Every structure is written in structure tokens, then in C-alpha cells.
Amino acid sequence: MITLSSDFGSPYPAAMKGVILQRTDAQLVDISHTLPRQNVQAAAFWLTQVLPYMPPAVHLVVVDPGVGTDRDVLIARTENHALVGPDNGVLRPAARSLASENGIEWFRLAAPDNGQPTDPGADWPPVPTSSTFHGRDVFAPVAARVYELGQDAIADEPAFEPVESVDSLVQLQFPEPTVEEGKATGEVLVADEFGNVITNIPGSVLLPLLGESVRVNTRHVPVREMYAAVNPGESLVTVGSHERVELAVNQGRGTDAFDLAVGDSVSLSW
């Protein structure tokens, strides 16, 4: 299969699918096309939460604020997966969620001055050349080529030209929290569609505190194992499925109740 992830919304993903389906018989699976717009860190986080549950696949990722520039196309290869996307940091956390650092090979498909690499596979239907839609014109054809030829062909110059191994790439590191005796400080990584506020604070700090309360910034909030442990409309602190501290409201929106947005500081004390 080929999975697709982007911040495109609709209808742009359909064009990427059309390009791929002209070239392959791949099963196409949408991860999400509503990733936070132009937010590379948030996209990387969500991919780490989803891709490890996927069977072997080519994963096409297009969250690309630098579209049209001379940033290169990256291809990552692990034992069972391949990832295709821009060299802006979005791929590395996802790749590391699928394999250890030593189990990842990185390749760069160099882009010429107009930001568009040669369409791999001149025998395939051509795609337009634009500087604003590389998801359709650059990344989709590359993902299709990886799927059709297989991962072992990535380093084969006749199949992918010009391609080269990569020793350095744009790095993306999630911010690190500070955990001390009786206190943890971090920030909001993402908020999901339910309004749950997901922080970078490890959920392990809450495990000894289940059934008690903690101070979140300036207010006391109960620590509970599940949303339904408080009445509808009431706030809680819990450990989400991502194993991080989550600020939520039972049948409500934590973003509103805690007045927090991505990047805001969060302090827990107990």
C-alpha cells in the first residue's frame, strides 16, 4: 500500500491519488489530510502515533511550508517501510518510530533550481510543473516509483536519477520537558479534533497521582484514568494513548477549558 498524509484538506489529495493511480495498482490509505497547516512538528508527532500500526508500506508525507524552494526530496528506507517527503524534518521522527536510527537509510533526490526533480520514470504519464503543488508534481510520482520498483531499487541510479545517500538532513527535535520533585514543566505539542490538549510531559509522572489532584498552571484539576471518571463538562488530567500528559474535558474541549494552544507552556505541580 501507499499511505498519504498532508495538510491539504480537500480537494488537493485527490490529485496526488490520481497521479499515483496512473502509475501503480497500489492500495491507497489516507492517514490524514487535516494535519495542522504548515506545522511540521505537529505533523511529525501524529505520524509517530499512527505509522507504527501500519503494515509494510510506502508512506507519502507532504507538509511542506517550503514548497517551491530548492529543498530536496528525501526517501527513507527501513526493513519494511519507505517514506517520501520534503527535507524539512517531518520524516525523521516518523522513520524512528518504525526502526532504530541504525535501521534507517536516507536518500536525497536532488532538486534543480526550479525546485522540481526529474520525474522518475519518463515512460509514465507526465505531470504538470508547478512551484506551488509539489505533492502532486514531485512527491506523488516519487512515491509511486518507490512502490513500483521496490525499496531495493532506491539506490539504483538508472531508476532514481539523480539520487544520493544522505549523511545529514534537517533535524526536528520535540521540545524536552523538565521533571523535578513535585513539579513538571513542558508545553503543548498538539491538540486533537476533540480539543484534548497533548503535552510533551511524560504520562509516567501522573501514575502515582491517579485519584488525586494536581495544579495545572493556576488551577487544581483531578487526575483520572479515563474521561468518564468525571462528570460531563468537568476537566481532568489523564495519560493519553500517546503516553503523555493530556488535559481534557469529559464531553468537552480541553483547549477551551484550559485556554491553551500549541506551543503554550504547561506547568504541573503536586
Q: Where is average pLDDT lowest: 25-34, 63-72, 151-160, 232-241?
A: 151-160
pLDDT given at position 113: 46
* pLDDT average, residue stretch 50-75: 93
* pLDDT average, residue stretch 2-16: 97
Cell representation of residue 161: 536519477
**Distance separating alpha carbons of residues 201 and 104, to the nearest angstrom:** 27
At 98 the three-state DSSP class reads: helix
Amino acid at 200: N
Share of the chain above pLDDT 70, in %: 90
Q: Which CATH class is domain 2-165?
A: alpha beta
pLDDT given at position 112: 44
Please tell me what DSSP assigns to residue 132. S
pLDDT given at position 58: 98
140 alpha carbon, distance to own chain's centre: 17
pLDDT given at position 6: 98
268 with 216: CB under 8 angstroms? yes
Given a cut of 70, whether residue 264 has pLDDT beyond it is yes
**Greater confidence, 139 or 129?**
139
**Greater confidence, 112 or 159?**
159
* pLDDT average, residue stretch 108-117: 56
pLDDT given at position 127: 63
* pLDDT average, residue stretch 244-262: 97
pLDDT given at position 115: 45
The number of beta carbons lying within 10 Å of the beta carbon of residue 225 is 13
**Distance separating alpha carbons of residues 49 and 270, to the nearest angstrom:** 29
How confident is the model over 220-231, as pLDDT tens digits? 999 999 999 999
pLDDT given at position 214: 98
At 68 the three-state DSSP class reads: coil
17 alpha carbon, distance to own chain's centre: 19
How confident is the model over 19-49, as pLDDT tens digits? 999 999 999 999 999 999 999 999 999 999 9
Q: Which residues contact 42 (CB under 8 A, 6 or more apart)?
A: 35, 36, 189, 190, 262
| Strand-pair partners of 186 | 266
Cell representation of residue 194: 476533540
How confident is the model over 157-198, as pLDDT tens digits? 566 666 777 878 888 989 999 999 999 999 999 999 999 999
Cell representation of residue 69: 524552494
How confident is the model over 70-86, as pLDDT tens digits? 788 899 999 999 999 99
**Distance separating alpha carbons of residues 268 and 258, to the nearest angstrom:** 13
| Strand-pair partners of 163 | 109
Torsion sign (Cα): 212, 184, 186, 9: negative
- pTM for this entry: 0.89
pLDDT given at position 20: 96
Q: Choose the CATH number for 178-269 among 2.40.30.90, 3.30.70.260, 2.120.10.30, 1.10.260.40.
A: 2.40.30.90
| Strand-pair partners of 77 | 82, 105
Helix (H) or strand (E) holding 183: strand 183-191
pLDDT given at position 151: 82
- Mean pLDDT, the chain, whole residue set: 90
pLDDT given at position 207: 94
* Annotated domain spans of the chain: 2-165, 178-269
209 with 202: CB under 8 angstroms? no
Distances (CA, A) of 183 to 84, 205, 215: 40, 9, 9
Cell representation of residue 169: 538532513
Q: ∠ CA(204), CA(45), CA(12), 5° rounding?
A: 155
Cell representation of residue 52: 507504527
